[in-house]
Structure 1
Amino acid sequence: MSEIKIHVLHTGLVQVDAGLPFHDRFRNPLAFTGLFRSHVNQITLPVSSYLIEHPKGLVLIDTGWNEAVRTSQWRELGLQVKINKAYLPAGWSIREQLTTLGYTPSDIDYLVLSHLHSDHASGLPLVKDAHHILVSKPEWQAAQHDRLRYIPKMWRDVTLQTFAYQPSELGPFHQSFDLFNDNSIQFVYTPGHSRGLAATLIHGESGHEVLLASDTAYAQTAIDHLYTPGIVINRPQALQSVAWVQQKSREPQILETLTNHDPQVSPHTITLD
């Protein structure tokens, strides 16, 4: 029986206003920006990426921060630094963590971006030698026009390919992309936080599954209480997406449900057989 190993990695830290991960707890609709709010409302969260050792190839989901933030956050993030402050401790970059695990960027068969926000795409230049770098078509299209939420220089010298969601039984809008056409890794259309956001459902031969919820919610408590993120392009879609994650996470075959920024989640490895 073939195993699938999922390495949960922390590829940075992000400091934000508490209104960003938990929008629904705050009456001020702009709380997530941190504007006119005290520093006591700032919280620090992990930035996660996932390396999947799959029988059909090595798959990386998201890249965390570029090592450039260690010298200048402003140069890497521009005005976004007012909302997201990036920190990358020594040894935490995706390049460094691949080395620790015994891999190089050219060993990666598929690098898939859940979406193109800076904390997920900043590290792209560190792993641009991956064989295939993919992002959903609606996410790519949104990134071509929205200069407030996206920083195009992060993929300037990177060869990006797009994938199309297909009709399926998965997700709040019944659309997904099957990476290997065998149901083992499926990217599920969960928009709201961004236009083309993808959650990831990983299915083992035994029937057990792991759900990587990306930024549909920022922590397990947000899933439990249906808290949507502060930054959204469509609040009703964001609510439908987190509601689907909540429902799916309660199915008996789901071993773990992980969000990208949950401070209660430590780096670890999950094995599906």
Structure 2
Amino acid sequence: MTVSTALRMWALDAPTMDLDAGDLVVGAEGTITFPLPAFLIEHDRGLILFDTSFSPLLNDDPRAYFGDLAETLNIVTNPEQRIDRQLGKLGFRTEDVTHVVLSHTHADHAGGLYLFPQAKFFVGPGEFDWAANPSAMQAHLMRPDDLAPTRDFDWTTIRTAQHDLLGDGSIQILHTPGHTPGELSCMVNLPSQSIVLTGDTVHLREGLDREVPDPHDWDPETGRESIRALKRLRDDEGARIWIAHDPQDWSEFGGPLVAQE
């Protein structure tokens, strides 16, 4: 089969948050300000979102959404970063989105799901069961009110290591568990390059280089194996890895709303 490609991809502008790097990668040091984005992929057969960032409620009023935690985490955002307005800046409407791939159920990835009831949704195995009873260390990242409106959406659970989203090789959903049981990554084949979107399989470039997981992962050793799987994709298939929360990667790929083709 001849592998087709998507047309282009954008990282959508997003809030930022401050956190101790050691809370993202075992052994990392210092405070880091990192983005919390979603990604939009244009294909001639549809418009695909990988994650949806936070709920627009946070963009409008972080404190109303998160309470004191908004200040503790130094969440910086504004209403123009709402995912619906980000789509509008690229000439699309929420109704144009045909597929949504959810890396996992944390609020900074799942907050905008409810905006796309017409889409087909994809989630990893065991993710919703885990989300209903997260660990104490991850509970503050869960927002049940974000997920509740999506219960009757058109959900498909990915039960294989790799799933060809459109059947043409252009977008491959990868099951990369560890951070959560259903954690998904996504390899996007574009005309000039292939890019792997990591979700939270790995949080910072240091974690990729040292093959070190998040200290709060559901299963750290499984997470380590998933990081190694991403590195094999890079080495064997020449794919570029985009670590969504890493500010260096954000700069390397050109920042928000810069088309990757």
Q: Partner letter of residue 100 of structure 2?
A: L
Match of 2:230, SS state, is helix
Partner Cα distance (2:178, 2:71) in 1: 22
Q: Given that residues 115 and 194 in structure 1 are in contact (C-alpha distance below 8 angstroms), is that contact kept between their aligned partners in structure 2?
A: yes
* 145-154 or 93-102, larger mean C-alpha shift: 145-154
Partner Cα distance (2:207, 2:22) in 1: 12
Partner Cα distance (1:2, 1:232) in 2: 33
Partner of 2:147: 155
Partner Cα distance (1:83, 1:115) in 2: 23
Identify if the C-alpha distance between structure 1 residues 80 and 160 changes in structure 2 by more than 3 Å, giving closer, same or farther.
Answer: farther
Q: Does 1:128 align with 2:101?
A: no
Instruction: Considering fraction of residues, name the structure with more helix.
Output: 2
Partner of 2:19: 16
Given candidates 8, 18, 42, the residue that maps to 1:53 is 42
Match of 1:200, SS state, is strand
Q: Given that residues 77 and 118 in structure 1 are in contact (C-alpha distance below 8 angstroms), is that contact kept between their aligned partners in structure 2?
A: no
Identify if the C-alpha distance between structure 1 residues 270 and 233 changes in structure 2 by more than 3 Å, giving closer, same or farther.
Answer: same
Match of 1:155, SS state, is helix
CA deviations 1:33-87 (Å, max 9, x no partner) are: xxxxxxxx54210112110001211001111122322455454346865875533
CA deviations 1:71-122 (Å, max 9, x no partner) are: 5545434686587553323422211110100111100001121111011012
Identify if the C-alpha distance between structure 1 residues 135 and 115 changes in structure 2 by more than 3 Å, giving closer, same or farther.
Answer: same
CA deviations 1:140-184 (Å, max 9, x no partner) are: 2211232725221112223434323344xxxxxxx1222112222
Q: Given that residues 17 and 83 in structure 1 are in contact (C-alpha distance below 8 angstroms), is that contact kept between their aligned partners in structure 2?
A: no
Match of 1:269, SS state, is coil
Partner of 1:30: none
Identify if the C-alpha distance between structure 1 residues 76 and 262 changes in structure 2 by more than 3 Å, giving closer, same or farther.
Answer: same
Give 5+ residue unaligned stretches, structure 1. 27-40, 168-174
Correspondence 1:1-273 to 2 at 5 A: 3-25=6-28, 41-70=30-59, 72-77=61-66, 84-125=73-114, 127-146=115-134, 148=139, 149-158=141-150, 159-167=152-160, 175-204=161-190, 208-251=193-236, 253-254=238-239, 256-264=240-248, 265=250, 266-267=255-256, 268-271=258-261
Q: Given that residues 67 and 88 in structure 1 are in contact (C-alpha distance below 8 angstroms), is that contact kept between their aligned partners in structure 2?
A: no
Identify if the C-alpha distance between structure 1 residues 142 and 78 changes in structure 2 by more than 3 Å, giving closer, same or farther.
Answer: farther
Give 5+ residue unaligned stretches, structure 2. none
Q: Partner letter of residue 10 of structure 1?
A: D
Partner Cα distance (2:214, 2:72) in 1: 13
Q: Given that residues 220 and 258 in structure 1 are in contact (C-alpha distance below 8 angstroms), is that contact kept between their aligned partners in structure 2?
A: no
Q: CA RMSD in A?
A: 2.6
Identify if the C-alpha distance between structure 1 residues 186 and 128 changes in structure 2 by more than 3 Å, giving closer, same or farther.
Answer: same
Match of 2:42, SS state, is strand
Instruction: Considering fraction of residues, name the structure with more strand.
Output: 1
CA deviations 1:230-256 (Å, max 9, x no partner) are: 3200010111111111222233532x2
Identify if the C-alpha distance between structure 1 residues 211 and 163 changes in structure 2 by more than 3 Å, giving closer, same or farther.
Answer: same
